[in-house]
Amino acid sequence: MKNLDNNELIEQYLRGALPPEDLQAVETSLSTDPAFRAEVELHRQLHEEFADPQKLELRDLLTDILKESPPSQSTNYGWLKWPGIALAVLFLGWVGWHWLTPALENTQPAVEEQIKSVPPANEPIATPEIRDPQTEPLEKAPIRPIAKADQAAYLPNRDFENRLGSLIRSSNGTAEMISPAMGATFKAENGVVKINFRGAAPADGDTAQFPLVLKIFDNAVDLNKSLFQVLPTIKNRNTADGSWAFSSAQRLRLQPGLYYYTMERQADEDLIFVGSLGWSSV
Amino acid sequence: MCDFGLTVLVACLVQYPKSKTVICNFKLSLAIQVLFLQITHPFAAKTLEDFNYIPAILSGDRTLITRMYAQLFPAIRQLVKDHVGTEDDAKDVFQDAIIVIYEMAQKPGFQLTSKFSTLFYGVGRNLWMSRRQKKTNLEVTIPEDAKYIADDSLHIDSLQVERGKLFYKALRQLGEDCQKLLELFFQNHKMEEIAQKMGFASEGYARVRKSQCKDRLVETIKKDAAFKELQTA
């Protein structure tokens, strides 16, 4: 039997079960014979690796599971499913609200008139518009102006002014907005402003797994009522500087005023960047 | 909670034809919003929960590990493919990362101080970067975030990881009897017990068979190209 004595010798040495004279011989060989030393080390590593039966079972389990492609994640709705869910529920809300519209006519006709006759963004507004973002569909570009065009619309919001810039610093860096510049002022053309939100997010597991959400608020900030929100596209994941570029080009129809935008992780809605911008009519 | 939204919604819809009041309109609107939130929130919670898979790894829970595969493999695959890797490489990294976390979790005093997905991704990233560095023999520029994780909290012996994989692969290439015998032997069962479990006539015969199987295992390992790479690493 090949190496029978050698195997037994090494095993007894590793167990500490060698008689003194054999132990002496083995230790001499270990110090003088590199091949024997390598052999003993290999046996030691084998014993160490296979000592835990659960680890071996785990490897077998993983080999079995990974034979197949990853199953579709039943709870992974991804960004494609959010619009579907949102649209379905918004449709229900719209149906419900549409059904209720006759009741509103009977009780608040003045309000109904004001909602129906909102002037375009580049015309002065004679009467204050009653804005109710709850009834606005969460689209990429609102169809009609949804904020006041008066002095109040330009008043800074103290809460957000104190939080402008990057808010979270993690070991993976911070989120940064490249565009628009903080406090940039845009001019609407025919009531529409084109703006490209571009920035960089930390290249980490959280960003990989949980989408970023860009939200816009008017200066009467209510974190539960953004004017609209969108999931920007993350690109260039292989940049070497530890961050991933994202972008979202928008055409917005808003009333002149001061606005704030936030970048959040969809996971925990922690604000990772707060910015401000304003626009005026042409 | 979902029942509440539905109840209010149905109550208002039933009440509505009789009484078109502002109060009912408000209730109906509220009910729709409550329903919206209740429908999306559990989904959001399920999608966005950061489940701690360590107990599942330690106990070998197939269902949860399969779910982990579905949830976390795409990020690993993306990482590997972004750095010149294949789907098989990604599966390797995924498997190795689980084994590394298994070993980490076994150590006394181990505590998960970040999200599991963050730890897992960090381990996977470290493993793939070391592997790629060895493959290309070029210095790989490791982004600062990975260095931070690698230096401060992740002590990954990539040689040990590769060695463990090589040993496992060699063991599973042996015949079933040899595999079973060696597993019992390495788990420190007595030869008498091994002989009994294997159905051998005597303890002496069990020793002989064990030695044969071990020789075969060592020979298989030494023939593997990966063993030579490990020797020179």
Q: What is the pLDDT along chain B (233 residues), one digit of tens a residue?
A: 445 555 555 655 665 555 555 555 655 666 665 555 545 444 443 443 478 999 999 999 999 999 999 999 999 999 999 888 999 999 999 999 999 999 999 988 888 888 899 999 999 999 998 888 776 665 555 454 443 344 345 678 888 999 999 999 999 999 999 999 999 999 999 999 999 999 999 999 999 999 999 999 999 999 999 998 888 76
pLDDT mean over A209-236: 74
Residue with tokens 């230096």: B151
pLDDT class of A220 with cuts at 50, 70, 90? confident
Closest CA to A220 of A128, A143, A138, A141: A128
Q: Could A93 and B69 be called an inter-chain contact, meaning their C-beta atoms sit closer than 8 Å?
A: no
Strand A212-218, strand A233-235: pairing:
unpaired
pLDDT mean over A57-68: 95
Provide CB contacts within 8 A for A197, sequence distance 6+: A177, A179, A180, A214, A232, A247, A248, A249, A250, A261
Using CA atoms, how far residue A17 sits from A10, A25, A48, B76, in Å, is 10, 14, 17, 46
Q: Which residues are registered as beta bridge partners of A176?
A: A200
CATH code at B163-232: 1.10.10
Strand A212-218, strand A165-166: pairing:
unpaired
pLDDT mean over A8-18: 92
Using CA atoms, how far residue A226 sits from A82, A247, B86, in Å, is 16, 19, 41
ipTM of the complex: 0.77
pLDDT mean over A194-202: 81
User: Which residues 160-199 on chain A approach chain B with CB closer than 8 angstroms?
Assistant: 171-173
Residues of B in contact with A49 (CB under 8 A): 163-164, 167-168, 186
Asked if pLDDT for residue A241 goes beyond 90, the answer is: no
Asked if pLDDT for residue A236 goes beyond 70, the answer is: no
- Mutation for testing the B interface, residue in A4, A57, A66, A169 having most B CBs under 10 Å: A66
Phi then psi dihedrals of residue B187, to 5 deg: -90, 15
pLDDT class of A206 with cuts at 50, 70, 90? low
Closest CA to B223 of B161, B169, B159: B169
User: According to the model, what pLDDT value does residue A85 have?
Assistant: 76
Bigger pLDDT: A96 vs A170 = A96
Provide CB contacts within 8 A for A238, sequence distance 6+: B82, B83
3-class secondary-structure state, position A137: coil
User: According to the model, what pLDDT value does residue A102 have?
Assistant: 59
User: According to the model, what pLDDT value does residue A197 have?
Assistant: 85
Q: Give the CA angle between residues A87, A88, A94 to the nearest 5°.
A: 80
Average pLDDT, chain A: 73
Q: How far apart are the first and last CA of chain B?
A: 59
User: According to the model, what pLDDT value does residue B71 have?
Assistant: 93
Least confident range of A53-67, A218-232, B14-28, B210-224: B14-28
The Cα–Cα gap between A77 and B201 comes to: 59
Q: Could A89 and B35 be called an inter-chain contact, meaning their C-beta atoms sit closer than 8 Å?
A: yes
Q: Read off the pTM.
A: 0.52
Closest CA to A192 of A250, A148, A125: A250
Q: Could B102 and A46 be called an inter-chain contact, meaning their C-beta atoms sit closer than 8 Å?
A: no
User: Which residues 37-76 on chain A approach chain B with CB closer than 8 angstroms?
Assistant: 38, 42-43, 45-47, 49-51, 53-59, 61-63, 65-66, 70-76
Size of interface A-B (CB pairs under 8 A): 184
User: According to the model, what pLDDT value does residue A152 have?
Assistant: 82
Nearest CB to B28; choose among A46, A100, A240? A100
Whether the Cβ atoms of residue A121 and residue A142 lie closer than 8 Å to each other: no
User: According to the model, what pLDDT value does residue B17 have?
Assistant: 54
Whether the Cβ atoms of residue A171 and residue B145 lie closer than 8 Å to each other: yes
Residue with tokens 């530890």: A242
Bigger pLDDT: B13 vs A76 = B13
Q: Could B168 and A53 be called an inter-chain contact, meaning their C-beta atoms sit closer than 8 Å?
A: no
- Report pLDDT digits (tens) over B158-201: 889 999 999 999 999 999 999 999 999 999 999 999 999 999 99
Asked if pLDDT for residue A116 goes beyond 60, the answer is: no
pLDDT class of A226 with cuts at 50, 70, 90? confident
The Cα–Cα gap between B130 and A11 comes to: 33
Q: Could A49 and B167 be called an inter-chain contact, meaning their C-beta atoms sit closer than 8 Å?
A: yes
